[in-house]
């Protein structure tokens, strides 16, 4: 088997070795015991796209199930705290802070959800920020599905990460 035939070879060539695979290509949890604990932060974002009328229901607090943004905020925070239980190879982290913020774009029918997660740990908190954004978006869908079945959740992405050996990264730094 050549190097390019090995599992994950294309990604490894572009970004270095895949840390969640052992030399035989089997999944493994990365050993972070030798890393230093540092403050780490990650910011993620997702868009929830709906009709302007449905977004107006959210913005005015008129959704039958209640305060959509308050419930979605709590759901996102809870999800961040349980990320290690949801994602098989993700380390459980002592999440120190999670913020879930919303920005409405009424004319477009877009609700932008931005999350920030912070910890002092041996590994990054990117998955916690992205899980918070995902679950907050799913909660918006769940609470609004009676008003509109065609709501879309789009463009989940990491915007920034800070801390650890690799330092800071922002989406703008990424080759697209």
Q: Is 173 a catalytic residue?
A: no
Q: How far apart are CA 23 and CA 56, in angstroms?
A: 53
The partner residues of 169 in beta bridges, in order of sequence, read 161
16-53 burial, b for 16+ CB within 10 Å, e for fewer?
eeeeebeeeeeeeeeeeeeeeeeebbbbbbbbbbbeee
Catalytic residue, candidates 22, 31, 142, 173:
142
Residue 108 near residue 152 (C-beta atoms within 8 A) = no
Edge-to-edge strands of the sheet including 95-105? 95-105, 110-121, 38-49, 152-162, 169-170
- Residues catalogued as catalytic: 142
């Amino acid at each position: 088997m050549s190097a390019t035939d090995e599992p994950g070879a294309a990604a490894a060539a572009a970004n270095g070795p895949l840390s969640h695979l052992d030399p035989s290509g089997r999944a493994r949890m990365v050993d972070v015991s030798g890393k230093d604990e540092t403050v780490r932060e990650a910011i993620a974002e997702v868009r929830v796209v709906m009709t302007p009328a449905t977004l107006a229901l959210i913005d005015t607090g008129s959704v039958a199930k209640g305060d959509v943004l308050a419930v979605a905020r709590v759901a996102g925070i809870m999800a961040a705290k349980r990320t290690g239980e949801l994602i098989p190879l993700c380390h459980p982290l002592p999440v120190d802070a999670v913020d879930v913020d919303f920005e409405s774009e009424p004319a477009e029918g877009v609700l932008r959800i931005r999350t920030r997660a912070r910890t002092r740990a041996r590994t990054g908190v990117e998955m916690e920020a992205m899980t918070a954004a995902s679950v907050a978006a799913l909660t918006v869908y769940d609470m609004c599905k009676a008003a509109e079945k065609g709501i879309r959740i789009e463009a989940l992405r990491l915007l920034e990460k800070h801390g650890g050996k690799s330092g800071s990264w922002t989406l703008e730094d990424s080759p697209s």
